[in-house]
Structure 1
Amino acid sequence: MGKDCSTLLMGMKLLGATTLIILLLTSSTTSASSIKNNEESYLNWVRRMSSRNHSNFLDAKNKFHPCKTIKVNKNPKLAHFTTLDAAISSIPLFNPCRLLISVGPGTYREKIEIPMTMAYVTLEGAGAGKTIIRWDDTADRVGPNGQPLGTYGSATFAVNAPYFVAKNITFKNKAPPPPAGATGKQAVALRISADMAAFINCKFIGAQDTLYDHKGRHYFKNCHIQGSVDFIFGDGLSLYQDCHLHAKTKSYGALTAQKRESMLEETGFSFVNCKVTGSGALYLGRAWGTFSRVVFAYTYMDKIITPRGWYDWGDKQRQMTVFYGQFKCSGPGADYGGRVSWARELTKQEAEPFISLSFIDGHQWLTNF
């Protein structure tokens, strides 16, 4: 992941009165009363942008009932195909209806990408402990074009098409955990770069940059996500509900790196009724984006969470623009007393927009979940 920061100039032209809030927040001469007033204005903006209607996104027109089932199994007598790649290659490039790919138990050593035109694909395994898709690419590995794959290209499984659903399956990047300070070792297990995707009872296993929550509205329900550094990252608008977030590091790590770059973006990560466990010392998030936005609600946090909780990516200006909040979290790592001053202990009113399916317009496209 890069460390680029977007400028505020374009946002200033477009946001009008909202720009004044940012200017005041970042001014060293702003009075205490002005900061308080503008803080409330900023929170009002957050609540408005987190309402049911996300105008920057298309209306959802999902299709739930499959018109065809394709069976994948290691045993050719039990399936249409023995590999996922063959099954996906059999789907029309412009897929018009919900298509179910039923994947039998076993480890499938494949690198898969769903093209952007292949909408309405459901991938269902025999259980997250039984059906595993595995590869081992890293960002510095040279690809077919002779250039490094980069973080984006390192994914074991990549989805570019809308309305994707995965159930009861594990996505794994088996690249070994990198030593401290190593570069080019990002190793993505799954990249989701499309709108309106749902993952139910899935596992995502990796080390650095496990789950690339790249862009679009996403729903993760009862999933297990494991990694070390920035293991949930990207610029998606995503709700994680009843998920187990497990850190595996011997030193410092970070759970999230959300990349919201301007106040115009309606993106952010919300974790509701989740559990955070593991080893090492873990930040809840790092401000990859200037306007990074992450909320934890009703979440259990083990003692691995650092008291400060959050890191500004080495840029103090981001302390004025990020939105990091907790609401009614529990456990030894949830103690708000040692948190950075620019994190928030949310009120019920402030937390409300983040804790239901409305955060991701789920009332439109998740009616069957």
Structure 2
Amino acid sequence: MIQFKKYIALVFFSICFSINAQNTYKNWPDVIRKNDASWFGTEEAKKIAENVLLYQRNIGGWPKNIQMQNALSETEKQKLVDLKSDLHDITTDNGATCQEMLFMSRMYAQVKDERYKESFLKGLNYLLEAQYDNGGWPQFFPLKKGYYTHITYNDNSMVNILVILKEIGEETDFYSIKPSKEIVEKAKKAFDKGIDCILKTQYKQNGVLTGWCAQHDEFTLAPANARAFELASLSGFESAKIVLLLMSIEKPSPEIITSIKSVNIWFEKTKITNLEEKRVLNDAGKIIDKKMIPTANAAPIWARFMDLETNEPFFCDRDGIRKKSLDQIGSERRNGYSWYSDAPKEVLKKYPAWAVKNGVKVSSAEASDKKKTNFITVAQDGSGDFTKIQDAIYASPAFPYEKVTVFVKNGIYNEKVRIPECNTNLALVGESKENTIITFDDNFSKINLGRNSTFYTYTLMVEGDDFSASNLTIKNTSGEKGQAIALSVVANRVKISNCNILGNQDTLYLSGKNAKQYFTDCYIEGTTDFIFGGATALFENCTIHSIKSSYVTAASTPEGTAFGFVFKNCKLTAEPSATAVYLGRPWRIYAKTVYINCEMGRHIKPEGWENWSKPDAEKNAFYAEYNCKGEGFQPAKRVAWSHQLTKKEAEKYTTENILKDSVPNWFSK
């Protein structure tokens, strides 16, 4: 379920509720997905919860596209009370009902208001009642005439429901509300029926399984039309989330395995690598035109609509007439609808590891694809291609045209690993973050190579550009013995996701000429200057943990560099004994470090920053914060030479601006 929980990544605001404050939230889903659980115990959250309760109908579901956080007048509240028994427009489309249930669960985790529990359970009962006998769900329930009665995969409606039922049926802790054993059993059965429906609706093309349509007829299970421009077809977008759900099932049946293998082959067959979408925006940032530009070796995309027999992409305007290219339909539909998607790339990325985990034997054709995509397995028990990670690196091709994936099965790998400059475009993927561990114990004194010994202490060294690592723990185990790097990155376009990076002093070194590096959903811990170096690095949704009172960062940003270290939506935590931690100090006088929307624990010193006995740094370094929170965020007490960004200044700190490179959007691949 990891891939379905990632989208619950959340942002915390500790401000008091008012009508004006409510209106600062542009979208209702932004409220649900706030980062710190404690926000859901605030008065602001409670007032929003009253709105959510009002919008819920007696049958248990909610209407869609409602900005629940907006203040309601007394007249509006009374109208909602009068609508409680109304059975129209209740749906799971556009995330409705599923997202409100999540909100109520997060509320109940902080405030044991029985109304929240009752609301969640009513929503769950609504989902169970809405299911067809064949396992599918309509777009609206009670049924609304028209295409709304079709089994609806569109915009992941049915997948969202099944994710909830999976969590309930497996009795995980994801939801704070625990249904009765009877409801748990119903959820299990409903989930199994839903999966059976998915398997039965997978479309066969000349007897070969492919993907799914956005809608399927509720009686025949055949692909079905929806709106005039949504003709029956195979969907690259909807099929991706369906198969990711199937891949999340432990001990899949032979039928599920066949389904996953088949759609993986279909995705490979239907990917488009010679087109890129170009969007033309007006001054307000609104899309005014979309064009598909022929591009050699473009990142793969898939059409939202593909012919059921030929897989050929097609496009429709509101007249329902099929066209062969996007430029043949009017601007309203061309610019107002998503005609292409890169969602299937996540399936192709995860499939090799899933196949290894589930012992899937590949056909000769698939084996050829595996060789072509350069997939190497490391396993200590001898079941892979190599037993050591470094041996797999040595066996990887130099400067490959396609990504090389080194999949590392669970185990403690006590080795020093180096990704040389020639090993570009390499992905190091662990079986699990908790149990795939790369560890070594070098430190400054042990290396003993002079004043620069620090840079030889790494456990993992990355020198090859376009590197990625995920689902790993990278650890330097030397302890309190001076400088000792766990991860050293001296390459460009490096992405580290869902990893633990553990050490003490100098845990994480980031460098490289004009290098851009991206860390997301990582846990990083250390003591002194445990994130240091001169690269431009963005940290998003990471936990930064101080083991003792010292310094978090020591940037050495080169003069004239636009961005240094940027932390967005991160959480700064510490051991109880660490009570006096600085946000950073300048290793070099042009250091740049910025914290945006971060939660800072009480261990952060009020003054925030230290000049490392370098008066020139106070004139040249750039240390700043914006919209942070927590006991450690004390802007009035910060050193005078640091900055609190304005909203306009903070707006330039987008992922695109920080990580801009000659390879566009590399960080999202």
SS in structure 2 of the partner of residue 82 of structure 1? coil
Which residue of the partner structure matches residue 153 of structure 1?
Answer: 456
Q: SS of the counterpart of 1:141?
A: helix
CA drift at 1:355? 3.8
Using a 3 Å threshold, how does the CA distance of structure 1 residues 163 and 309 change in structure 2: closer, same or farther? same
Q: What does residue 75 of structure 1 align with?
A: 381
Separation (CA, whole Å) in 2 of partners of 1:142 and 1:173: 13
Structure number with the higher helix fraction is 2
Query: In structure 1, which of residues 126, 130, 150 is the aligned counterpart of residue 435 of structure 2?
Result: 130
1:322-347 C-alpha deviation (Å, 9 max, x unpaired): 11111000000011121100111110
How far apart are 1:96 and its partner, in Å?
A: 3.2
3-state SS of paired residue (1:310) = coil
Q: Residue deviations 1:288-338, cap 9 Å, x none?
A: 111110110000000000111001110112101111111000000011121
From the superposition, tell whether residues 272 and 224 of structure 1 become closer, same or farther in structure 2 (CA, over 3 Å): same
Matched residues in 1 for 2:387 and 2:593: separation? 40
The Cα of 1:367 is off from its aligned counterpart by 5.9
Q: 1:258 aligns with which of 555, 558, 576?
A: 555
Partner of 2:410: 105
Cα 1:367/1:268, change in 2 over 3 Å: closer
Note if contact 1:120-1:163 (Cα within 8 Å) is conserved in structure 2. yes
Question: Aligned match of 2:566 in 247, 250, 270?
Answer: 270
Greater Cα shift, 66-75 or 118-127? 66-75
CA distance in 2, matches of 1:139, 1:315: 24
Shift of 1:148: 7.2
Structure 2 CA distance for partners of 1:367 and 1:111, relative to 1, 3 Å:
closer
1:273-292 to structure 2, matched below 5 A, reads 273-279=569-575, 280=578, 281-292=580-591
- The letter of the residue matching 1:284 is L
Aligned mate of 1:174, from 467, 477, 493: 477
Partner Cα separation in structure 1 for residue 467 and residue 623 of structure 2: 29
Cα offset for 1:67?
Answer: 1.1
Give the aligned partner of residue 524 of structure 2: 225
CA distance in 2, matches of 1:271, 1:196: 17
* Corresponding position: 1:162 with 2:465: yes
Question: Residue 89 of structure 1 aligns to a residue in which SS?
Answer: helix
Question: Which residue number corresponds to residue 366 of structure 1?
Answer: 666
Give yes or no for contact 2:447–2:457 (8 Å, CA) kept in 1.
Answer: no
- Structure 1 or 2: more strand by fraction: 1
- The answer to whether the 8 Å contact 1:140/1:149 transfers is no
Q: Which residue of structure 2 aligns with residue 8 of structure 1? A: none
Instruction: Give the partner amino acid of 2:395.
Output: S
TM-score under structure 2 length normalisation: 0.43
Show the 5 A alignment for 1:322-333. Answer: 322-333=621-632
Taking only the aligned residue pairs, the percentage that are identical comes to 31
Q: Deviations over 1:175-234 (max 9, x none)?
A: 1124xxxxxx20000000000000010110000000001231001000000000001000
For 2:664, the aligned partner's letter is Q
Instruction: List alignment gaps of at least 5 residues for structure 2.
Output: 1-296, 301-344, 350-371
> Secondary structure of 1:108's partner?
strand
Of residues 424, 447, 458, the one that matches 1:119 is 424
Q: Is the 8 A contact 1:309 1:340 kept in 2?
A: yes
* Cα distance, 1:151 vs structure 2: 1.2
1:158 is paired with a residue whose SS is strand
Question: Unpaired segments of 5 or more residues in structure 1?
Answer: 1-59, 179-184
Cα 1:353–1:248 shift into 2, 3 Å: same
CA distance in 1, matches of 2:608, 2:667: 35
Contact 1:239/1:357 (8 A) holds in 2: no
- State the superposition RMSD in angstroms: 2.1
TM-score where L is the length of structure 1: 0.77
Which has the larger Rg? 2
Give the 5 Å matches for 1:180-219.
185-215=482-512, 216-219=515-518
**Corresponding residue for residue 307 of structure 1:** 606
Q: Alpha-carbon deviations, 1:227-269, whole Å to 9, x = none?
A: 00001000011110000000001xx31111000242x234401
Letter in 1 for 2:412: T
Q: Is the 8 A contact 1:270 1:295 kept in 2?
A: yes
Residues 8-56 of structure 1: CA deviation (Å, up to 9, x unaligned): xxxxxxxxxxxxxxxxxxxxxxxxxxxxxxxxxxxxxxxxxxxxxxxxx
Deviation, 1:92, is: 2.4
Task: Report Cα offsets for 1:103-159 as digits up to 9, x if no partner.
Answer: 00011000011111110000000121110000010123236xx66771111100000
The structure showing larger relative contact order (alpha-carbon pairs under 8 Å, at least 6 residues apart) is 1
SS in 2 for 1:354: coil
Residues 367 and 114 of structure 1: CA distance in aligned 2, closer, same or farther (over 3 Å): closer
- Give the counterpart letter for 1:102 in structure 2: F
